[in-house]
Amino acid sequence: MKRSLFIVTILVFSFYALQAQISSPGADATDLTQYPVFPETDDIFIFCSNDSSAEVGALTATTALAGTKTWLWEKYDETSGTFNEEYQETTDAASSQITGLADGCYRITITQGTTTEIDRAWVFNNWMYAGGELAVSDCEHFVMNGELNSAVLTYYDLSNNAPLFVNKDVQVEWLEDGNRIASVINLTVYDPPAENTNYTLRVYDKFGCDAQATLTYETIVTKASFTASPMEGEAPLEVTFSNNSENGTPGYYEWYFYRDLNAIKADSDGTGNPVDSIDFVAYDDAPVYTYENSGTYMVRLVSKHLSDTLTCADTVYMDDYIVVDSSDIAIPNVFTPNGDGVNDEFVVQFQSMQSLEISIFNRWGRRVHYWKSGDVRGFEDTWTETVWDGRIGGRYASPGVYFYDVVGTGRDGEKRKKHGFVHLFREKD
């Protein structure tokens, strides 16, 4: 009979002991204990912090008991394996809160007459630290060594006081402009950027706690870049080179102008010997160069950055070749100098010519128009000088057939010759 009464008493006590509840609305994360021996499971409340000395834990106990009652808060002492009083109050409130808590296990005992309710919870101030330094920096790469530290979350089996650890699964990542670029503690970056760049080391765990450190890479390198315009046209072709290099030192740019590609191939065919492909080197920040001869040309830019200890260089080639047109001559077979603004002049079309001689004769062999130059500077700059307006000695020439003879040498070395007849149409005076 006494044994049965004891069992009933234990069941009643367990029923009331489950009524108290500890919660922590301000916690950043929660977990559960995994005691090997102690038969119950307690909540673990995680508070994120970047201060290793911070004590920001807070717990709230609630009960359904109405009326005046005593709230006894105790903290577990892992040295003695016992709970010691932390705070006590007597009130008719439905809840009690304690704040500014250090790491540890807290127990609430709510007493009202013969009724007792008990609950426990663990609190951890989960601080994290991230730091780092720029360890190596040269023209090819740089190294940022990261540093991390994190609170060890230790709790104890309440039966035998054996230490246990909360698995935090700490991870690291490096960020550039918010994008993850690596997940190792020590970051090596090859092909460094040519501008000062911030890198952020982030240390975090499965509870969402994290710490960040931002390191600034102060660049010592340059990135060569340029454009050329125009990329094609007749000779002589004036090309403007726009230097778009990043972080280059003014006055230390090197422009390598290559010979005509076909000339390089011709020199190298069958010889087996190295061929000098460079025509000349310019040391301008942004050169303007005139290609006098037809051909296919490449340009290379070397940009340099001078610092206190190193000179870093970067090289870039054009994506495509500059093409200077071959020489050519085209002659019309008719023109109508009647003043209507359409086809009023006899115009010899030509491109990439070095020298040019234009002669026009009437049917009796008399020369009625002549123009000659040994240094033709392109069609656009020259053609107005070369045209025949259909006049002879200031008077309109008679309609009919005329003979032309056009000879010259192209800027590709080719001899060009055209001769034939052109018809002049116009109502007779």
Q: Are residues 42 and 137 in the same domain?
A: no
- Residue 181's CATH number: 2.60.40.10
pLDDT tens-place string over residues 189-247: 999 999 999 999 999 999 999 999 999 999 999 999 999 999 999 999 999 999 999 99
Q: Mean pLDDT across the chain, nearest whole number?
A: 94
| Structure confidence at residue 3 as a pLDDT band (50, 70, 90) | very low
Q: Are residues 99 and 23 in the same domain?
A: yes
Helix (H) / strand (E) containing 383: helix 383-386
Q: Per-residue pLDDT for 288 more than 80?
A: yes
Q: Per-residue pLDDT for 27 more than 70?
A: yes
Q: How far apart are CA 33 and CA 43, in angstroms?
A: 6
In this prediction, what percent of the chain has a pLDDT beyond 70? 95
Helix (H) / strand (E) containing 194: none
Give φ, ψ of 6 to 5 degrees: -65, -40
| Structure confidence at residue 13 as a pLDDT band (50, 70, 90) | very low
What does the pLDDT read at residue 271? 73
In-domain check, residue 341: yes
Residue 419's closest CA among 334, 347, 359?
359
Domain termination site, one of 275, 298, 324: 324
Peptide bond into 236 cis (omega under 30): yes
Q: Are residues 188 and 120 in the same domain?
A: no
Label residue 3 left, alpha or beta by phi (over 0 means left) and psi (-120 to 50 means alpha): alpha
What does the pLDDT read at residue 428? 57
Q: Which amino acid is at 114?
A: T
Q: Are residues 29 and 142 in the same domain?
A: no
In-domain check, residue 429: no
Q: How far is CA 157 from CA 4, 40, 76, 78, 122, in A?
A: 31, 10, 11, 10, 12
> Which pairs from 362-366 meet CB under 8 Å and 24+ separation?
362/397, 362/400, 362/402, 362/403, 363/400, 363/401, 363/402, 363/403
| Rounded average pLDDT over 122-137 | 97
What does the pLDDT read at residue 268? 84
| Rounded average pLDDT over 61-86 | 97
In-domain check, residue 363: yes
Q: Are residues 119 and 12 in the same domain?
A: yes
For 348, the token pair is: 């010899």
In-domain check, residue 62: yes
In-domain check, residue 241: yes
Q: Per-residue pLDDT for 1 more than 80?
A: no
What does the pLDDT read at residue 273? 79
Q: Are residues 67 and 108 in the same domain?
A: yes
In-domain check, residue 350: yes
- Residue 280's CATH number: 2.60.40
Q: Per-residue pLDDT for 2 more than 60?
A: no
In-domain check, residue 110: yes
Helix (H) / strand (E) containing 12: helix 2-17
How many helical (H) and strand (E) elements, i.e. helices and strands, does the chain have? 3, 36
pLDDT tens-place string over residues 352-364: 999 999 999 999 9
Q: Are residues 14 and 101 in the same domain?
A: yes
For 122, the token pair is: 């663990």
Q: Are residues 13 and 118 in the same domain?
A: yes
The residue behind tokens 């290559």 is 258
Domain termination site, one of 290, 309, 324: 324
In-domain check, residue 271: yes
What does the pLDDT read at residue 334? 98
Q: Which amino acid is at 125?
A: N
Q: Are residues 372 and 392 in the same domain?
A: yes
pLDDT tens-place string over residues 138-197: 999 999 999 999 999 999 999 999 999 999 999 999 999 999 999 999 999 999 999 999
Q: Are 215 and 133 in contact (CB under 8 A)?
A: yes
Beta-sheet pairing, 232-233 with 322-324: parallel
Q: Are residues 349 and 407 in the same domain?
A: yes
For 88, the token pair is: 């006590």
Q: How far apart are CA 303 and CA 186, in angstroms?
A: 30
Q: How far apart are CA 122 and CA 62, in angstroms?
A: 16
DSSP state of 248: P
What does the pLDDT read at residue 17? 43
Cα separation of the two ends of the chain? 150
Q: Per-residue pLDDT for 102 more than 90?
A: yes
Q: Are residues 11 and 118 in the same domain?
A: yes
The residue behind tokens 């304690």 is 98
Q: How far apart are CA 186 and CA 173, in angstroms?
A: 10
Domain termination site, one of 187, 217, 247: 217
What does the pLDDT read at residue 19? 72
For 420, the token pair is: 């034939």
For 372, the token pair is: 């000659």
Domain of 28?
Answer: 2-126
Q: How far is CA 231 from CA 107, 240, 256, 342, in A?
A: 82, 9, 16, 32
Number of domains in the chain: 4
Q: Is 338 helix (H, G, I), strand (E, B) or coil?
A: coil
Q: Per-residue pLDDT for 80 more than 70?
A: yes
Q: Are residues 122 and 23 in the same domain?
A: yes
